[in-house]
Amino acid sequence: MTWELGNWKELGKFLPKTRIPREIQPVLSASRSPLCIACSGGSDSMALLLLARCWWPKHPLILLHYNHRVRAISEEEERKIRGLAAQLQLPLEVGHREPTKDAIPSEEILRTDRYAFFEKMLRLHQSGFLLLGHHQDDRLETVLMRLVRGVSLEGLIAPRALQAVGFYTKVRPLLLFVKKEIQSALQACGVAYLEDATNAADGCTRNRIRHQILPPLGNLLADGHGNGGFSRSCQILSEQRDYLREHLKKRFADWDFSQTTFERSRLRSLPTVEFRYFFQTWLLHQGWEEIHFQTMDQVLAALRTKRSTTIMLDAPHRLILKERTVQLLQNSLEEMRPFRFCWQDGTLFFPNRAVLFQKRQPYSAELYDSVCHGSFLYTKTVVLDAEKFVAPYVVRLWEPGDRYRPIGSPVAVKVKKLLGSRKIPLAKKRQLPVIASRDGDIAWIPGLPPAEAFRLTPFTKFCVFLFYQTD
């Protein structure tokens, strides 16, 4: 199967090497490691593949293609990629996702599978570089998505041109090019590329940003796509990030992050930006890979008070805030039984690796109708009246003698009887959390109806959603 490559060696005239991010060239020039290129056959990866042959001729190139097997044309695309590799006389590694009877997996699952395959191939070929076709549009889409969620300075300059990931580095040479000029260059040189029909759909957030936000935004910008201004912004933010990082390294040079206990007054005196750096660095030294904003904000809020409290970081790890100290504890799951926590907000992790989290939102008639018609399963989700169910909450294991009045019941009933009537296995019964009000009144146990005392009414103004997830 022949791939139309046209006059591909002229591609560098339209997409010059002088426009690749300046930090990339010195790193690749100092190494002779094979370059593994993620190739889907789309315009971005096709341009990257052909430009890499022109820009770094002394480096061996290895094509990596992952077939997710979620689209009807996936097999046809794989055959075309195999033909392309043979035509260019390049080694090719193809990975496959095993099909299942379940629904189509999320983008996050597909991405995880894809990168697991890439890392396996990098190890096999002893390569330290994975080249990716991310361009300026991808970067802008990513920044807009992260701005909505809440993001750090680091997040605003991602994805980066060079990104160290364990034993290898992700390299993105096309970050300063926009998609339109990449496609125009390929068309001018007569190079064919594949079109992914899913990119035209508005199903995921990234595609909605791509089709509904970026086009009108581009029309408002002086040069049509804002490439110059956005690139300068990323560069300035990157320089500021590097300066801040070096300053903070010096600031905490004499801190021993291997210890598990620090003075609370010492941490409370830190400016917020310094505490965020301290907390991230401390947990990274203790084995964490990523710390979420929600966890960070929860710790900051607790630290600023004088209360003693416990914050669950994950199933076996607890942060104990006492009057004078802040201590990080790691226990086996059995050592954490029984448990009883005062829960204000954030995410709560249980010894059985289940997770409980919450959100608060205004009441609406539509929401009330959804609850009344059974749209929420009591096993995983419950909606309560926020004016009656007020934080902090008490979360514990159920105990003999526990009783409460479920919705629809005229009297209080023993929890043991309710669990038995639903034929919940004994092992699971012992792990179910009891979520109670600050006065100790039971509001909900996953798998059982919520309490009558905290139910929604037509007069409710705000609601509390409780979500309970298990492995």
Break the chain into its structural domains and give their ranges.
Answer: 8-237, 252-336, 355-469
8-237: CATH, from 3.40.1380.20, 3.40.50.300, 3.30.1330.100, 3.40.50.620: 3.40.50.620
Confidence of residue 212 (pLDDT cuts 50, 70, 90): confident
| Segment 212-225 mean pLDDT | 61
- The pLDDT assigned to 244 comes to 92
Question: 307 in helix, strand or coil?
Answer: coil
User: Helices 227-251 and 136-149 sit at what angle, rounded to 10 degrees?
Assistant: 60
Answering whether pTM is above 0.85, one says: no
Confidence of residue 306 (pLDDT cuts 50, 70, 90): confident
* CATH topology agreement for domains 8-237 and 355-469: no
- Residue 433 CA to residue 199 CA, distance in Å, equals 43
Query: Which ranges of 286-425 does DSSP label H, i.e. alpha helix?
Result: 293-303, 365-372, 415-421
At residue 401, does pLDDT exceed 70? yes
At residue 178, does pLDDT exceed 70? yes
Q: Please answer whether residues 28 and 56 qualify as being in contact, where contact means their C-beta atoms are separated by less than 8 angstroms.
A: yes
**pLDDT digit string (tens) for 348-373?**
766 666 788 888 888 787 777 776 66
At residue 224, does pLDDT exceed 60? no
- The pLDDT assigned to 152 comes to 78
Confidence of residue 98 (pLDDT cuts 50, 70, 90): confident
At residue 222, does pLDDT exceed 50? no
| Segment 405-428 mean pLDDT | 84
At residue 237, does pLDDT exceed 70? yes
Output the CA angle 387-388-390, nearest 5 degrees. Answer: 75
- The pLDDT assigned to 320 comes to 86
Confidence of residue 154 (pLDDT cuts 50, 70, 90): confident
At residue 378, does pLDDT exceed 90? no
Q: What is the CATH number of domain 355-469?
A: 3.50.40.10
Q: Specify the range with the lowest mean pLDDT, choosing from 180-184, 378-382, 448-452.
A: 378-382
- Residue 52 CA to residue 174 CA, distance in Å, equals 11
Q: Which residues pair with 389 in a beta bridge?
A: none
What average pLDDT is seen over the chain? Answer: 84
- The pLDDT assigned to 134 comes to 93
Q: What is the CATH number of domain 252-336?
A: 3.30.465.60
